[in-house]
């Protein structure tokens, strides 16, 4: 075999590997989507959304390599930043709502004990 034939065979193997990785990631995204819908808690849903974000970022990066398009890497970075901010905002909203719920329960308990005294 010549060097050119070896390089062509190597490119074909790497392309096959990358396509297999894409298929695996798509299956994992679907499984994470099921976890995000089913729950059972809000924290599980947030983690599932974060996993989906990470896997979609990797999918875009692999597509950039397969298609040999540099602009897809820019899209990949922008998507990663937006996804990170979305998870941070969701976490902040979730923790604030839990803290507000605990404060209102504590105030209700204090009111209840004050009425009985």
Per-residue HEC secondary structure of the chain comes to CCHHHHHHHHHHHHHHHHHHHHHHHHHHHHHHHHHHHHCCCHHHHHHHHHHHHHHHHHHHHHHHHHHCCCHHHHHHHHHHHHHHHHHHHHHHHHHHHHHHHHHHHHHHHHHHHHHHC
- pLDDT for 86-107, tens place per residue? 999 999 998 888 888 776 677 6
- pTM, two decimals, is 0.78
- pLDDT for 27-72, tens place per residue? 999 999 999 999 899 889 999 999 999 999 999 999 999 999 999 9
């Amino acid at each position: 075999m010549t060097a050119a034939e070896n390089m062509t065979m190597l490119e074909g193997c790497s392309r096959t590997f990358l396509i297999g990785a894409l298929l695996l990631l798509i299956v994992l995204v679907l499984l994470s989507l099921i976890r995000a819908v089913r729950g059972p808690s809000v924290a599980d849903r947030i983690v599932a959304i974060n996993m989906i974000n990470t896997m979609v970022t990797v999918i875009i990066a692999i597509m950039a390599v397969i298609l040999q398009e540099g602009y897809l890497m820019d899209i990949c970075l922008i998507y990663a930043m937006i996804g990170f901010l979305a998870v941070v905002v969701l976490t902040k909203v979730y923790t604030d709502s839990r803290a507000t719920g605990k404060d209102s329960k504590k105030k209700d308990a204090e009111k209840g004990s004050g009425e009985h005294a």
